[in-house]
Structure 1
Amino acid sequence: MLRTHTCGQLRSEHIGQDVTLCGWVESKRDHGGSVFIDLRDRYGLTQVVVGPPEADSALIDSAGRVGTESVILIRGKVSPRLEGKVNEKLDTGEIEVRCEHYEVLNPCPTPPFTPSQQELPGEDLRLKYRFLDLRRPAMLRSLELRSRIIKIMRDYFAEHNFIDVETPILGRSTPEGARDYLVPSRVHPNSFYALPQSPQLYKQILMVAGFDRYVQVAKCFRDEDLRADRQPEFTQLDMEMSFVDQDDVMNMIEGLVQRTAKELKGTDVTLPLPRMTWDESMRRFGTDAPDLRFGMEIVDITPIAATCEFRVFRGAADGGGFVRGIRLEGQATEFSRKRIDELTEYVKQDFGAKGLAWFRVEDDGKLWSPTSKNFTAEQLQQIGEALEAKPGDLLMFLADTWEVTCKGLAGLRKRLGAELKLYEPDAMSYSWVTNFPMFEHDPEEQRWVAMHHPFTAPLTEDLDKLKEDPAACRAQAYDLVINGSEAGGGTIRIHNGETQQQVFELLGIDEQTARDRFGFLLDALKYGAPPHGGIALGVDRWVMLFAGLDNIREVIAFPKTQKASDLMTEAPGEVDAKQLKELHLRTVKV
């Protein structure tokens, strides 16, 4: 090793020792003939004092000596800092290294930004020079946290007798759900592999093979439109168990949640975690990933709206729609008309709502708004009672379809919860949402599609609804929700070939197509497939949530942009004609 210690290792007990440090120049300062260098590595920062004659050359950046972010080696003696100069913010703040010799291992030209600067540059610049951005302490902490979380996961499942199995990256395209990333085959002309959206089919095969308990930290790929919490390639903790029901899988994951919270946050999580059905979650919070760190639940006042003279409310109720609202405690005088107008535009633009109605609760408890004249005193009282309104509260309502009221009020609730600081920044909330619909109707393709995936088992009591009433059929599906984000999703799988074929038919996958795409799975189900189920936990999202961040790119070393490009390597890129010819491909200009 070139170095004897790291830049975060030296303390007062090392005073008098000769040491060698290597690292990056964080900053340097000229103090009357001596140069003070803050030398940084992954472990911390040490102050180095370079005296004459080395000090003169240490100041000459143009000669490539010791410019900021240059990599240097320092040999010297550990000394106490001068009286009054101790830096209590640094672990190494009691000492400094008096330089006796230094070498520039690699000079650095003036960087486009420095890891220590207070104001961050734009994200595009950070991603283009990711090797500089990764030197920032915040990025280092995120990736260290990621490493810790993955270790906790691996240790936990190893203790519970799971076997870690790697499944293939090159597989077959099964176009159900998100778009696949396709990989052309050189040795099989006109044929393609697909990068896995998940190891779903392989882990089911492992259960048929008798592996009983499988786990894997798996890289997965989906060619879909991106958001702040999505990437085209992502990492998930994938697990599967045999001879279980959904409670068994959920209990196993709850133990992991409890351990992770204890080790990372020092908090005790009470088990079992709160559970609610999908129907309840949509009714109370408008989303299947509710944030339980605060209240502000959605209340349905459609029956009251159906009797009033306010055309917006009455029209929605008479037309089969809904009128639903939320209560903003103590905000009646805090929200100006301008701010309400901004929120109105927000629900219009982002969720397709027609508008936003509101009432202010006066000191006498009565509701007032410009539309109050369209309601009787009794109706206003009923609305206030439905939302448990108190003087000083502000009530907001959407009158629209069920879907629009769900999305709009869930969006409002999420935004206002953050803006009004209704929860502590480091608060964590964990819950389950269960009993999802088995299917949802695709209006464009005019067919049923699986809400999770086509291998999900229906609830036993809903099995007959596969044929009679698919819309009412519920799935043995369960999502883990952390702070209003889906942190994992799992299901109990279909282990009966006949039921699997029924589901395929309902999804418009005929017998021949099912055989072509999933023949190996259907064959496996004939040969002693046990009841089994599992879950996939989004590792990137777990790290983001436990780090208290709102952008998944902050916890991935080399992420893609929202256009699925890598600004540092400039991927995706063109390939030459020879490569295309070997793959039996040619490009077409669009």
Structure 2
Amino acid sequence: MLARSRVCLQTITRRLADFPEANAIKKKFLFRKDTSTIKQLKGLSSGQKIVLNGWIEQKPKRVGKNLIFGLLRDSNGDIIQLVDNKSLLKGFTLEDVVQAVGILSLKRKLSNEDADEYEVQLEDITVLNASNKKPAQMQDFKLSAIYPPEFRYLQLRNPKYQDFLKKRSSISKEIRNSFNNFDFTEVETPMLFKATPEGAREFLVPTRTKRSDGKPSFYALDQSPQQYKQLLMASGVNKYYQMARCFRDEDLRADRQPEFTQVDMEMAFANSEDVMKIIEKTVSGVWSKFSKKRGLLTLDSKGTLVPDEKGNGTVSIFRMTYEQAMTSYGIDKPDLRAPDLKIINLGEFNAFSHLNKKFTRF
């Protein structure tokens, strides 16, 4: 019995020895609040102590016995060089989440460099979350820009995708501001609804309740808030909009996926002209504000691409009927970047299909 107790005690002691020190664990949760971004460093003076949060951009490189260079990337995608004279970066790898403390200093400039660049003389660095993949594998992900689904979060760290998310958020705010300026009311409608026979195929959500005949009951995820917004119109909500989540159990296409977000709106006591004016002003305003290349283009009476805004600041967008679109382009959403690629009816030249003599060639 005594021998068994001694073995158990040795096992517990050995396992306790494998635990990291309490101070090392505690340090990960004691965040410094006086942090800066790399862009904010331009307003600081050299020799000032700073704190940066971010990720290790690439594996630190040892260039001398007591000198290691590393790169840190912050949440904005900006990169700064870390200079380590204390071997603090030893063992660090790509995408380690760190908090670095150091002294800001001017980087030695080359003869062809005009702007001043900064670097950080590292004094202390804390690993908040270590990367769990091998450095070579992480580097392959970054170079190929192809990440397995389980590492999607690594792809979203990329500045390109960070910009996409921020731009999407800004566009949503601008759309909301536009509808709010037109006195619309944003209403959030339920996602669970009764299954309907028309429209796209629906996703079904089982419930714990049963129908009167003993069969299980289901909800359907909303394809679009069509019935809800009609109820709102009948309830006296004159102008309604929302950023609606929609779910459709259909095959994937370039412009379709199982779930998506759409700007949904409805107006009471209004005709098609009123609705189109609101849409024109909203789309034109958002496009002109966030497009990096140029403003929104439309067609003039001659079929030439021209800016949608007139000299007096008003918006004029060319309107095409369904009949015109199908007759000229064979599709209800033609690509008007090439407006001259139209379908031409060759009936006047007496050209007919060789399979069906009554069918005109185009």
The normalised TM-score by structure 1 is 0.49
Q: CA deviation at 1:59?
A: 3.0
Deviation per CA, 1:47-93: give whole Å up to 9, x if none: 2323322x2x5232xxxxx11100111101111111218988xxx97
Match of 2:67 among 19, 30, 34: 34
Query: Helix, strand or coil for the counterpart of 2:193?
Result: coil
Query: Helix, strand or coil for the counterpart of 1:323?
Result: coil
* Kept after mapping to 2: 8 A contact 1:8/1:44: no
Counterpart residue number, 2:354:
315
Change (3 A) 1:30 1:201: same
Identity over aligned pairs, percent = 38
Q: How far apart are the structure 2 equivalents of 1:85 and 1:245?
A: 67
- The residue identity in structure 1 corresponding to 2:204 is L
Q: CA deviation at 1:276?
A: 1.0
- The residue identity in structure 1 corresponding to 2:207 is S
- The residue identity in structure 1 corresponding to 2:268 is S
Asked if 1:99 corresponds to 2:122, the answer is yes
Counterpart residue number, 1:465:
none
Match of 1:202 among 221, 228, 232: 228
User: How many pairs does the alignment contain?
Assistant: 304
Aligned runs of 1:135-534 on 2, under 5 Å? 135-189=157-211, 190-265=216-291, 267=295, 269-270=308-309, 271-294=315-338, 295-306=340-351, 314-316=353-355, 318=357, 320-324=358-362
Q: How far apart are the structure 2 equivalents of 1:85 and 1:37?
A: 23
Q: How far apart are the structure 1 equivalents of 2:39 and 2:139?
A: 20
Question: Structure 2 unaligned runs (5+)?
Answer: 1-30, 296-306, 310-314
Match of 2:56 among 21, 25, 28: 25
Query: Helix, strand or coil for the counterpart of 1:239?
Result: strand
Counterpart residue number, 1:517:
none
Q: How far apart are the structure 2 equivalents of 1:71 and 1:316?
A: 67
The normalised TM-score by structure 2 is 0.77
* Kept after mapping to 2: 8 A contact 1:23/1:73: yes
Match of 1:120 among 115, 137, 145: 145
* Kept after mapping to 2: 8 A contact 1:181/1:221: yes
Q: How far apart are the structure 2 equivalents of 1:48 and 1:137?
A: 17
Q: CA deviation at 1:297?
A: 1.8
Change (3 A) 1:74 1:283: same
Q: CA deviation at 1:30?
A: 2.9
Counterpart residue number, 1:82:
108
Q: CA deviation at 1:249?
A: 0.5
Deviation per CA, 1:414-450: give whole Å up to 9, x if none: xxxxxxxxxxxxxxxxxxxxxxxxxxxxxxxxxxxxx
Deviation per CA, 1:322-380: give whole Å up to 9, x if none: 322xxxxxxxxxxxxxxxxxxxxxxxxxxxxxxxxxxxxxxxxxxxxxxxxxxxxxxxx
Q: How far apart are the structure 1 equivalents of 2:178 and 2:109?
A: 49
* Kept after mapping to 2: 8 A contact 1:35/1:58: yes
Counterpart residue number, 1:508:
none
Change (3 A) 1:49 1:113: closer
- The residue identity in structure 1 corresponding to 2:61 is R
Counterpart residue number, 1:477:
none
Change (3 A) 1:101 1:274: same
* Kept after mapping to 1: 8 A contact 2:201/2:248: yes
Counterpart residue number, 1:43:
76
- The residue identity in structure 2 corresponding to 1:110 is K
RMSD: 2.4
* Kept after mapping to 2: 8 A contact 1:36/1:47: no
